[in-house]
Amino acid sequence: MKLEIELEVLSAVCVGSTADAQGIGVDKATARDADGKLIIPGSTLKGRIRWECERIARALGWEVCDAPQTDNMCPYFWHHRGVSDDKYCIICETFGGSARHAALWFGDAALADDVRLRNTPVLQRGKSVSERRPFDAQIRPGVSISRARRAAFSERLFFTETSAPNARFRFRALIEGDPPSHKHRALLLAGVRALSLVGGGRSRGLGWVRVARGVLDGDELTDTRWKELLKPLEEVTT
């Protein structure tokens, strides 16, 4: 199975990378690839899609383990419930866990379009400054609030780099692998379709995305095709 997805950013995203943060003097920078292009790391996508799939599986009444603590995940989750054999829930069978390999591989989501803004050189005294401060991003100040005292402290001022707001960036990602059954695949697709948030800063309106496009094994996923592919989820489980 080869699933290509295109995520449209509806607000702005900050998939934190503290490693890159120091270089540009912020507390949290957005993740970039070696060429400096904005990315959403595959591990972030995987975590988020896994979370959506767990939510859907529970809504369908399927018993799944409690990620992310290893002790609450398969197979330990079942050992605590008196199952002596190593058992894995549909989520672990798909996404893997500490004791099991994942059936799927999630690639980093890279910016789909070459950012027009970024490619426009901005010169200051004959030197390009757009290389130093890419126009695909914005620095946002934030103040952390003490929940106990409901007060903001100036020393808690922090800066976050996010993708440029309202730029409607599109990120393209590839998910590959062999889901064990149609049901596993359907659950994955349902989770992908439900994807609406990535990265941090939800309370500040960051991270809202929508899946704008999907291509499964070369076939464009129309609304009708999505519905067909999700059908195995409606089958009665035994």
* Binding footprint of Zn ion on the chain (CB under 5 A): 65, 74, 89, 91-92
Cis before 68? omega within 30: yes
CB of 64 to Zn ion, least distance (A): 6
Q: Please, which residue, 49 or 74, has the CB nearer to Zn ion?
A: 74
Say how far apart CA 111 and CA 33 lie, in whole Å: 10
Instruction: Determine the longest span between alpha carbons in the chain, in angstroms.
Output: 72
CB of 99 to Zn ion, least distance (A): 10
Residue 78 makes CB contacts below 8 A (sequence gap 6+) with 65, 85, 86, 87
| 3-state DSSP assignment of residue 16 | strand
CB of 213 to Zn ion, least distance (A): 30
CB of 88 to Zn ion, least distance (A): 6
Q: What angle do CA 128, 131, 135 make, to 5 degrees?
A: 105
Q: Please, which residue, 85 or 114, has the CB nearer to Zn ion?
A: 85
CB of 75 to Zn ion, least distance (A): 8
Q: Please, which residue, 12 or 65, has the CB nearer to Zn ion?
A: 65
Q: Please, which residue, 100 or 213, has the CB nearer to Zn ion?
A: 100
Say how far apart CA 141 and CA 27 lie, in whole Å: 10
Q: Please, which residue, 88 or 171, has the CB nearer to Zn ion?
A: 88
